[in-house]
Structure formats: structure tokens, C-alpha cells
Amino acid sequence: AQRVTQPEKLLSVFKGAPVELKCNYSYSGSPELFWYVQYSRQRLQLLLRHISRESIKGFTADLNKGETSFHLKKPFAQEEDSAMYYCALSGPSGGSNYKLTFGKGTLLTVNP
């Protein structure tokens, strides 16, 4: 069974501090991993996709297959980063398992 675990429901940091949102997964094979973000009163939107290996809004995430983790990191948090963050996985790119399995989310608050 595929599963995504985000151990922290809430995370609070001060502006300028580093932030790390944890995500662990369970999947038989090589999944595709994503981070989605939902800002207040906005729709869910894609932040990062691991195969893109991009840095978006200063965030990065590295897939660690040994630890089955895909933690989201940013060296200096900004107040506008305050949002709900969801880690998600699907089957491998090019395969037939396209559905997303989400974690329960982590609410990040960046204090001034």
C-alpha cells in the first residue's frame, strides 16, 4: 500500500530561520514525489516535483530512497511562506498509477 506520513501537524518558526518540513513515504517501487502548498483562501498548487530538481520560492526537496524521505527545506523562511504544505506521491512517471496519495499536511507559520 502506498502511504505518506507528515509527522508534524504544526510548525512555527521565526522569519529568517531555516525551516524543514518532514515527509516519509511507503511505496513498492520508485514513486514520484511532490510537495503541494495551499495558501490562505487559495487553491492547492504544486510547489515542487522531485524529477524536476528545481528550487521554487527558495524551497528544495531531495528524495532519499534509503530513508524513504522527501523533506522540504528552505534556509531562510519568509512570512509569505505561511501556508499548509502537503507531501504527495504517485506511481513512477510513464507508468499507469497516476493517482496522488497525500499526507495529512503540515501548517507552517512564519512569525515576524
Partner 1 sequence: DTGVSQNPRHKITKRGQNVTFRCDPISEHNRLYWYRQTLGQGPEFLTYFQNEAQLEKSRLLSDRFSAERPKGSFSTLEIQRTEQGDSAMYLCASSPGGGSQHFGDGTRLSIL
**Which residues contact partner 1 (rule: CB under 8 A)?**
4, 9, 34, 36, 43-46, 49, 86, 88, 93-94, 98-105
Q: Which is nearer to partner 1, 74 or 90 (CB)?
A: 90
Nearest Cα residue to 88 out of 47, 53, 60: 47
Q: Which is nearer to partner 1, 59 or 86 (CB)?
A: 86
Closest distance to partner 1 from the beta carbon of 102 (Å): 3
Closest distance to partner 1 from the beta carbon of 49 (Å): 6
Closest distance to partner 1 from the beta carbon of 39 (Å): 13
Q: Which is nearer to partner 1, 12 or 93 (CB)?
A: 93
Helix, strand counts (H, E) of the chain: 0, 11
Closest distance to partner 1 from the beta carbon of 93 (Å): 5
